[in-house]
């Protein structure tokens, strides 16, 4: 009997809690029969049970020993132990059960005990480096440190990482323990680099947002201070200048008016005690006082002038 699985890495030696949406009566009977071979076989893409075709499966799966089956609100919880890898062919999809022909797949143990320990230590160190960047990761890191089997370690960590279907299947398909471990480390390091990049970008964005917030608060405080200073001035010495209205009524050319309004915006953000404040204010005073509107020239009446002269 074949169980279709998605987004899982199941390797020999692992114990894993599968969640199955539903079983037919025949499938449930097969699972409870200790003499029946149960194979977990990965799907290439998501499919509902009634949509699955033989072509939707990858060819390498794993034989499972069913330890426990418990019904739940959303199907069944099935605790399994992964025994060995198999190649599956001649898949038959019936209404009540999926079956196929299996052949044991070679498992190449090309790392000695010391080599496996070194691989595990390296992987666990990467886990610590990543875990340090996340809150409440202590429980997962502790569980990782307690694992003593390389396949189990790879399978356990893979549960928490956003590997693609193809990447997860590659780990299951690879026969060499050394090659599988190196492939996993490559995936893991890429994930670590991606996390580091996300954190750096987040920190930069946060710094910029905080700076903008502080500047906005300071500008608002400055406006309040300016308002209080203006209110404290005696009425006789108060010279309120509505520059915006004066600029708009000065009949300036459009480009001059735009430049004047930009300078006004700068003035409003300046501290009145700063040297720039007085410079900008004097500049605006000059602009609004210039005679931008040309007066129509009065024409001289030559005949009337001659008449007045002769009269005199």
Contacts of 29 (CB under 8 A, 6+ apart): none
> What would the two tokens of residue 251 be?
């009949």
CATH class of 108-237: mainly alpha
Could you give the CA distance from residue 245 to residue 43 in angstroms, rounded to a whole number?
A: 72
Query: For position 297, what pLDDT does the model report?
Result: 52
Could you give the CA distance from residue 198 to residue 202 in angstroms, rounded to a whole number?
A: 6
Residue 253: is its pLDDT beyond 70?
yes
Looking at the structure, give the CATH architecture of the domain made up of residues 2-104.
Roll (2.30)
pLDDT-derived band at 130 (thresholds 50, 70, 90) equals: very high
Could you give the CA distance from residue 131 to residue 255 in angstroms, rounded to a whole number?
A: 58
Residue 228: is its pLDDT beyond 60?
yes
Q: Is the pTM of this model over 0.85?
A: no
Domain ranges for the chain: 2-104, 108-237, 241-289
- Check residue 19 and give left, alpha or beta (phi > 0: left; psi -120 to 50: alpha): beta
Query: For position 302, what pLDDT does the model report?
Result: 60
Alpha carbon 229 to its chain's center: 47
> Do the two domains 2-104 and 108-237 of this chain adopt the same fold?
no
Residue 269: is its pLDDT beyond 90?
no
């Amino acid at each position: 009997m074949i169980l279709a699985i998605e987004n899982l890495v199941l390797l020999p030696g692992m114990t894993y809690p599968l969640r199955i949406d539903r079983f037919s009566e025949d499938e449930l009977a097969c699972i409870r029969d200790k003499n029946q071979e149960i194979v977990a076989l990965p799907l290439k893409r998501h499919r509902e049970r009634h949509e699955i075709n033989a072509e939707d499966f990858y060819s390498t799966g794993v034989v499972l020993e069913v330890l426990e089956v418990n019904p739940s609100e959303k199907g069944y919880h099935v605790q399994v132990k992964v025994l060995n890898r198999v190649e599956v062919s001649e898949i038959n999809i019936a209404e009540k059960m999926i079956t196929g022909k299996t052949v044991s797949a070679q498992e190449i143990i090309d790392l000695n005990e010391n080599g496996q320990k070194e691989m595990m230590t390296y992987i666990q160190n990467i886990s610590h480096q990543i875990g340090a960047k996340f809150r409440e990761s202590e429980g997962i890191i502790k569980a990782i440190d307690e694992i003593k089997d390389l396949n189990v370690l790879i399978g356990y960590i893979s549960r928490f990482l956003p590997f693609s279907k193809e990447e997860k299947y590659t780990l299951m398909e690879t026969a060499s323990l050394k090659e599988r471990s190196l492939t996993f480390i490559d995936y893991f390091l890429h994930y670590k680099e991606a996390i580091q990049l996300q954190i750096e970008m987040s920190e930069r964005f946060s710094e910029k947002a905080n700076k903008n917030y502080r500047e906005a608060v300071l500008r608002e405080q400055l406006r309040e201070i300016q308002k209080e200073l203006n209110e404290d001035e005696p009425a006789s010495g108060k010279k309120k200048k509505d520059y915006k209205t004066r600029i708009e009524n000065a009949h300036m050319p459009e480009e001059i008016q735009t430049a004047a309004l930009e300078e006004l915006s700068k003035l409003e953000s300046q501290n009145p005690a700063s040297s720039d404040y007085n410079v900008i204010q004097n500049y605006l005073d000059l602009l609004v006082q210039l005679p931008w509107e040309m007066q129509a020239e009065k024409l001289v009446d030559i005949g009337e002038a001659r008449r007045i002269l002769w009269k005199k």
